[in-house]
C-alpha cells in the first residue's frame, strides 16, 4: 500500500464500499452502512498482512463480512420484535376523555370515593392546593374539606396497605 493517509484510502475505496452495498441490496440506512464500510476499511488497513495477498481483496472481503454481520443482527432483531397491526391498537384504545392521565388513573383505581373526596384528592395531589385553598375554590368551610380529606384517607388506606 502506497497510500499515506486514511482520507486518501477512503476516497480511493469509496466506490468499492458502494459496490458492496449495491451487491447486498442495501437500500435502507445507506449512510450508516457507508460509515460501517469506512470503519471496516480502517480495520482492514490495520490488520492487513501483505504476505497473504493484495489489500484490495482483503478489504473487499472484510467490509462485506462486516455488512453481512450487521444485516444478520438487524434481521434477528426484526424477527424478535413484534409490531402489532393498527387494528390491535384500535381495539384496545377507548375514547379519549380529555382528562390528564393521572385523573383517569385515579378514576379507575378510586372508584368508590365520593365526588368531594376525589375533588380533595385531585386538588391536593395534582394541583398542590391546601385545605384552605380548596375550601375557597369550592366555596365551602374548611371543616367540610377536612371531612372530605378524612373520608378519602380512610378509603385510600384499603388500597395501600
Phi, psi of 133 (to 5 degrees): -65, -40
Residue 156 to residue 112: CA distance in whole angstroms: 10
Does residue 22 surpass a pLDDT of 90?
yes
The per-residue pLDDT for range 29-55, each reduced to its tens digit, is 899 999 999 999 999 999 998 888 899
Average pLDDT value for residue range 139-143: 93
The model's pTM is: 0.51
Does residue 66 surpass a pLDDT of 80?
yes
Output the pLDDT for position 125.
83
Higher pLDDT, 121 or 84: 121
* Residue that the C-alpha cell 390491535 belongs to: 88
Average pLDDT value for residue range 76-93: 72
Residue 73 to residue 36: CA distance in whole angstroms: 14
Output the pLDDT for position 64.
95
Output the pLDDT for position 102.
64
* Residue that the C-alpha cell 471496516 belongs to: 40
Burial environment of residue 148 by CB neighbours within 10 A (0 to 12, 13 to 18, 19 or more): buried
Does residue 23 surpass a pLDDT of 90?
yes
Output the pLDDT for position 96.
59
Instruction: For residue 77, give every residue at least 6 positions away whose Cβ sits within 8 Å of its Cβ, in sequence order, or none.
Output: none
Output the pLDDT for position 91.
63
Structure confidence at residue 152 as a pLDDT band (50, 70, 90)? confident
Amino acid at each position: 500500500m502506497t497510500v499515506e493517509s486514511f482520507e486518501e484510502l477512503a476516497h480511493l475505496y469509496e466506490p468499492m464500499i458502494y459496490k458492496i452495498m449495491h451487491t447486498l441490496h442495501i437500500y435502507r440506512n445507506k449512510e450508516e452502512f457507508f460509515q460501517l464500510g469506512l470503519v471496516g476499511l480502517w480495520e482492514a488497513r490495520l490488520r492487513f498482512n501483505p504476505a497473504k495477498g493484495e489489500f484490495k481483496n482483503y478489504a473487499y472481503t472484510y467490509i462485506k463480512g462486516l455488512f453481512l454481520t450487521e444485516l444478520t443482527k438487524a434481521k434477528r432483531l426484526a424477527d424478535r420484535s413484534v409490531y402489532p397491526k393498527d387494528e390491535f391498537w384500535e381495539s384496545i384504545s377507548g375514547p379519549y376523555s380529555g382528562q390528564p392521565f393521572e385523573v383517569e388513573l385515579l378514576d379507575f383505581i378510586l372508584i368508590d370515593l365520593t365526588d368531594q373526596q376525589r375533588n380533595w384528592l385531585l386538588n391536593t395531589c395534582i394541583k398542590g392546593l391546601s385545605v384552605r385553598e380548596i375550601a375557597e375554590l369550592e366555596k365551602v368551610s374548611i371543616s367540610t374539606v377536612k371531612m372530605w380529606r378524612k373520608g378519602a384517607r380512610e378509603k385510600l388506606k384499603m388500597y395501600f396497605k
